Chain A
Amino acid sequence: MMTEGREVLLDVQNLRVQFKVRGSRKPFVAVKDVSFQIYKGETFGLVGETGSGKTTIGRAIVRINETAGGVIKFKGIKINGVIPKEVDRMVTQKIQMIFQDPMASLNERAKVDYIVSEGLYNTRNYKDEEDRKAKVSKALLEVGLLPEFASRFPHEFSGGQRQRIGIARALIMEPEFIIADEPISSLDVSIRAQVLNLLSSLQREKGLTYMFISHDLSVVRFIADRVAVIYKGEIVELAETEELFSHPLHPYTRALLSAIPIPDPVVERQKKVLVYDPSVHDYSKDKPKWVEIRPGHFVMANNAEIEQYEAMLN
């Protein structure tokens, strides 16, 4: 499947994810009617605040959360809902996830050798013990760790090294698509740069595609090619990174951008923080829709707002 000459790796259409609420018939809708495409080789940033549903989208793609509606296609093949066993296996292998907290996401009682091999065991994706060991060594080397670390336990490592183990565990499956859910949020400032650089160089070497989920807009601005902003389960704006940062349209995007602290005292003192008030939208008659206001720049707006946004762009 191709769009404007670029290969679409992941295609999400009208995705809906809901959770049962105890003592209530009405489910809680965490993700409503979300659509986006991710191109092969790009880094797609998904930005939102606590409870916005950004992690839920990532988890729905890797089939941890069930979907209540919509279609997720990976390389043109449907991967949500009821799917054949081979497809499920392909998802397990080709799509990998890196988690936020390297202290919590590694099994404390297992050695690094097992932690990194777990995916291989599950898919029996190795010839023999020797082959498995070779794959573990290679994965550890690729993330800048020594192969002899395989015999150690997670508690012997620092936060940055643990996150590298988490990345090695994903890489060993030879994935094409990696969902990184806040991979550097819990790391110290001086370690963050190391992990960001590692992710970038792995992407170049292996042609990986990333979905980078984060609440930290300055990191997303640095690493992502395109960014989607999600608010209460809905994507409100999507554009190429620089376009989004220089011409934010949706009032929520503008409020979010104005709130990021900039490490520059002069800029920070002059800045004006905007507050998003959802009641600015009058959607009673004129319903909002997902429109491409400029090539590649999408925003959720009704007709009156489209006019207003177009005026802002000109």
Chain B
Amino acid sequence: MSEPILSARDVVVKFSLRGQILTAVRGASLDLYEGKTVAIVGESGSGKSVFTKTFLGMLDANGWVDSGSIMFEGQDLAKFKTEKEWLTIRGKKIAMVFQDPMTALNPLKTVGSQIREVLELHQGLRGQEAKNRTIEILGQVGIDNPAMRYNQYPHEFSGGMRQRVVIAIAVACNPRILICDEPTTALDVTIQAQILELIRNLQKQLNLSIIYITHDLGVVANVADYVAVMYAGDVIEYGTVEEIFYDPRHPYTWALLSSLPQLGVKGQPLYSISGTPPSLFADIKGDAFAPRNPKALKIDFVYRPPYFRVSPTHVARTWLLDPRAPKVEPPEPIKAMRRKYERYAT
């Protein structure tokens, strides 16, 4: 397999909050391959946004990367200290699309000037040249009549169109990596489908490598080539989209998929996970999911599992994959997905 374009290893992120130290990311690792999409799935507080913010140097002032490495184009981003260093990467090589297009745009500036600003800053374009390029980009993200739209303000755009503008700003400098943080959560499903299609087309045209953050497993199935499942600040399972959906190995991935209404049987209770995720202030011992896992092993409460390799592309942090572990069957919905996949294959 080719070398990853971005490779994060054992990243630990801490925050200082009212005199307490909070560990938001606890040694997470991730590989992103060129021209591919990796989806990061997890619940709120799982650290998925914080983890990706470290690739852009966008942590809040009270947070820092405590240890680990983030390799990109031969540089370790985790070692970056100054804003000057980050400006060579942020927006230029790695760009971000935010969740809420209502707040990501400046309501007092025309849409055209907000895209143009990026071109002037990063590519040194000026005057008519900058304007023409801006109009070209607006057309590229599927905005009709871009020359007229250039002079309009964000409030004159619908939610879906605004998200297209946010995407236009992100891709204006031909970045190599695009980080999309729940870009369709605030949108209706029909608009979401259009934005997902746009991102896919731009990926092909511009050879973008994409990190897509979401909690919606339906969207993951749509966009991802690879999937990283995060729980309590850690990537607990990583594999190709087929491996995660049809052959998941971590009990948390099992539980997450099984609790989807789409996999449930009508009239019967849905598979549900009891309890809530652990507090990030607490010192987590062993497997963070163990207290919510009714089938947890004794060792899960004592030692943190290492990554066990399932295939060349698939790893999972669970003691169940240790050769000494007892055989634990996945829940029924997971087995049903596996059977379905076997039928697709034949």
- Find out whether the CB atom of A189 lies under 8 angstroms from the CB atom of B260: yes
Q: Are A260 and B189 in contact (CB under 8 A)?
A: yes
- Tell me which of A190, A197, A258 contacts B269 (CB under 8 A): A197
Chain B 229-255 per-residue mask, 1 if CB under 8 angstroms from chain A, else 0: 000000000000110010000000001
B221's partner among A188, A201, A261 (CB-CB below 8 A) is A261
A292 CA to B224 CA, complexed, in Å: 42
Given contacts A218-B261, A263-B218, A265-B241, contact A190 B190 (CB under 8 A): no
A217 to B270, CA, bound (A): 16
**Chain A residues near B269 (CB, 8 Å)?**
197, 200-201
Q: Are B261 and A190 in contact (CB under 8 A)?
A: no
Number of A-B contacts (CB under 8 A): 111
B256–A189 CB distance below 8 A: yes
The A265-294 residues at the B interface (CB cut-off 8 A) are: 265-269, 273, 275-276
Report how far A218 CA is from B276 CA in the complex, Å. Answer: 23
A158 pairs with B276, CB closer than 8 A: yes
Residues of A within 8 A of B341 (CB): 266
B271 within 8 A of A: yes
> Which residues of chain A from 165 to 200 have a CB within 8 Å of any chain B CB?
188-194, 196-197, 200
CB-CB contacts below 8 Å: A1-32 with B: none
Q: Does A246 touch B at the CB level, under 8 Å?
A: no
Residues 232-268 of A contacting B (Cβ, < 8 Å): 255-256, 258-268
What chain B residues lie within 8 Å of A255 (beta carbons)? 190
A-side interface mostly: helix
Interface residues on A, range: 35 or more
B322: interface (CB < 8 Å):
no
B242 and A265 contact, CB distance less than 8 A: yes
Is A160 part of the contact surface with B, judged by Cβ < 8 Å? yes
Within the complex, which residue of A158, A189, A200, A215 is in contact with B189, where a contact is CB–CB below 8 Å?
A215
Identify the stretch in A64-72, A110-118, A219-227 within 8 Å (CB) of chain B at 4 or more residues. Answer: A219-227
Residues in chain A near residue B256, CB distance under 8 A: 189-190
For B219, the chain A residues whose CB sits under 8 A away are 261
Given contacts A189-B256, A218-B262, contact A259 B189 (CB under 8 A): yes
Interface membership of B105, Cβ < 8 A: no
Cβ-defined contact, A263 with B190, below 8 A: no
When the two chains form their complex, are residues B193 and A218 in contact, meaning their CB atoms are under 8 A apart?
no
Q: How far in angstroms is the closest Cβ of chain B from A35?
A: 25
Contact A191 B217 (CB under 8 A): no
Q: Shortest Cβ distance from B338 into chain A, in angstroms?
A: 12
Is B266 an interface residue, CB under 8 A from the partner? Answer: yes
B190 touching A276, Cβ below 8 Å: yes
Q: Which residues of chain B come closer than 8 Å to A193, judged between CB atoms?
A: 259, 261, 270-273
Query: Does residue B340 face the partner (Cβ distance < 8 Å to A)?
Result: yes
B259 touching A192, Cβ below 8 Å: yes
B168 adjacent to chain A (CB < 8 Å): no
Assembled-state Cα–Cα distance A261/B196 (Å): 10
Pairwise interchain contact A189-B217, C-beta atoms closer than 8 A:
yes
Sample of 10 more A-B contacts, CB < 8 Å, known A197-B272, A201-B269, A266-B242? A50-B159, A158-B276, A189-B43, A189-B217, A190-B259, A192-B259, A215-B188, A261-B221, A264-B221, A269-B222
Query: CB within 8 Å of B: which residues of A?
Result: 49-50, 158, 160, 188-194, 196-197, 200-201, 215, 217-219, 221-223, 255-256, 258-269, 273, 275-276
Which residues of B does A touch, CB under 8 Å? 43-44, 159, 188-190, 192-194, 196-197, 215-222, 224, 241-242, 245, 255-257, 259-264, 266, 269-274, 276, 337, 340-341, 344
11 contacts between A and B (CB under 8 A): A192-B261, A193-B272, A197-B270, A197-B272, A200-B269, A219-B261, A222-B270, A259-B193, A261-B222, A265-B221, A266-B341
